[in-house]
Amino acid sequence: MADWQLLLDSLKSSAYEYAYFVDGEEAALLPSLPVVFKKDVGCRLAVTIDSILLNCHFFHPSEIEFDIDPREIKKQHDAEQIFGFMKYIGCLLNKEVILTPENDQAVLLFRFAPDVGEVQYIPPPSSQ
């Protein structure tokens, strides 16, 4: 859970606008991380970048996952904001960050790897 703690601590000093929710109500702080991952407690981290809402529902302690409504990505600037957030997380944690369609982690759309330093488009297998 060290990556989770690092991300949550880093958001506090970042320029990103964020809010915590516990059982649907906005909260000043999240409960402890072990409590956050209990199924009987509904916790959510909402990060807003311009008008784009990224939600983290704390599904699993070993994976940091945000969801985005693709309808909120209306122009190149919006995509660049998402890519910037991917870079932020990847550089912070020194880990690869991927963008996939909802419920399909096998299909990569974009990837950020800290050793490469930029977000890369991953073409579909049929067009490679």
- Annotated domain spans of the chain: 2-96
Number of residues that make up the chain: 128
Q: CA–CA separation, 103 vs 84, rounded Å? A: 22
SS3 2: helix
Q: CA–CA separation, 68 vs 9, rounded Å? A: 22
Instruction: Give residue 80's pLDDT.
Output: 98
Instruction: Give residue 127's pLDDT.
Output: 56
The chain-wide mean pLDDT, for the chain, equals 93
Convert the pLDDT of each residue in 30-74 to its tens digit. Answer: 889 998 998 778 999 999 999 999 999 999 999 999 999 999 999
Structure tokens at 47: 């990060």
- The four Cα atoms 107, 109, 112, 116 give a dihedral, to 10 degrees, of 100
